[in-house]
Amino acid sequence: MGMLVHGIVDAESVPALSQAALGVAADRSVRWVVSGELAGLVSDCPDGEVLPSRANLLAHTRVLEAVAQTMTVLPMRFGVVVPDDAALERDYLVARHDELRRSLDRLRGLVEFRLRISYVEDEVVRAVLEDDRTAARLRGRSSVQAQVQLGQHISAGIDARREQDAQAALDALAGHAADVSVTRPLGGLDVLVASFLVVSDRHSAFDVAVDELAERLSPLATVELVGPLPPFSFAGEER
Amino acid sequence: MVTAVARKPASGTLAEVIDIILDKGLVIDAYVRVSLVGIELLTVDARVVVASVDTYLHFAEAANRLDLRGQSEEHDADLQSLMSGQARDKTRGAIEGGVDKIRDVFSRDESEEAQKDE
């Protein structure tokens, strides 16, 4: 027997939590463990171990998403299982009280947005060819060696562009966010994958800046924005 | 031109946020109880894009199928000026000499491959 821990909220916020809404979101029974000023959101997991199945990952995400709509929540990484209420209270809510308190205060009213910018393959290849005459000359050659050379030119051209475009995107958006966390570059057609900590206002300056950025990048690259998420990338004390 | 940013809720795009859910967020060190065997494979797979011959050939194919309208004349001119200027440029000559060597190796491989296929 054990309990999967979803997140930590201010105990004052607990009355605003609707068991019905959470249960529907998670497709399981979600409850909370209150300790002083803090409360932990948990759901039971009978075998004491959680498999990273699609259903389990979605349930965790949905609980946090539902909660984050009405209050500040410190999200747990998926897979933290405590044996019982007493253990959660003793080993975390009490033991780490000050740290959790500070994080909740720091993140009040802030949510995470996950931004992904990706090149449109044909468009970026075309752009590289326009700048790289050697590459343009290599087009249509039949030998494998010429094709590998051509591919190397395209790849190098995309890498060079990525650095510039990623930096320009960060420069355009960072000023509208309280914090930024850049994910290790993925290569390929990805330009930038980054999380932004922003005020949870749908029509914030950040939102407008993302729209403007997407317009500037079109048709070379597409912009995808996932969120609002609870501040996963910013919840840790070390930040 | 109006460009729509693709906006999505997290629960609708698990694939987009899976690395956050599994890698970020708070942890209670003593109580991490999730089998990480499958996850490591999954994230490594998604994150590492190795620059390989396959990647290069893929990009070459993309370049070849593009219709670069209005650029062909310009590039023909480039080619001509490049060819006529070849002798002047010793450095380029040296590089192309090296390329020829590689080309020999490759074409030898290709012809061997072709013989095997026959």
- Chain B positions touching A122 (Cβ under 8 A) are 62, 66
> In A, residues 14-43, which contact B (CB 8 Å cutoff)?
none
Q: What is the pLDDT of residues A131-155, one digit of tens each?
A: 999 999 999 888 999 999 999 999 9
Kindly give the confidence (pLDDT) of every residue in chain A, 239 residues in length, as a single tens digit, with 9 standing for 90 and above: 788 899 999 999 888 887 656 666 666 788 889 999 999 999 887 776 677 778 888 889 888 988 888 889 999 998 888 989 999 999 999 999 999 999 999 999 999 999 999 999 999 999 999 999 999 999 988 899 999 999 999 999 999 999 999 999 999 999 999 999 998 666 789 999 999 999 887 668 899 999 999 999 999 999 999 988 999 999 986 54
Flag if A81 and B62 touch (Cβ within 8 Å): no
The CA distance from B73 to the nearest CA of chain A, in Å, is: 12
Flag if B25 and A62 touch (Cβ within 8 Å): no
Radius of gyration of chain A (CA): 23
Interface confidence, given as ipTM, is: 0.76
Q: What is the pLDDT of residues A32-51, one digit of tens each?
A: 899 999 999 998 877 766 77
Cα angle A104, A13, A36; round to 5: 70
The CA distance from B56 to the nearest CA of chain A, in Å, is: 4
- Chain A positions touching B39 (Cβ under 8 A) are 52
- Chain A positions touching B44 (Cβ under 8 A) are none
A53/B contact by beta carbon, under 8 A: no
Flag if B62 and A122 touch (Cβ within 8 Å): yes
Flag if A125 and B62 touch (Cβ within 8 Å): yes
A55/B contact by beta carbon, under 8 A: no
Flag if A135 and B1 touch (Cβ within 8 Å): no
For B31, the closest of A65, A74, A81 (CB atoms) is A81
A137/B contact by beta carbon, under 8 A: yes
The CA distance from A228 to the nearest CA of chain B, in Å, is: 7
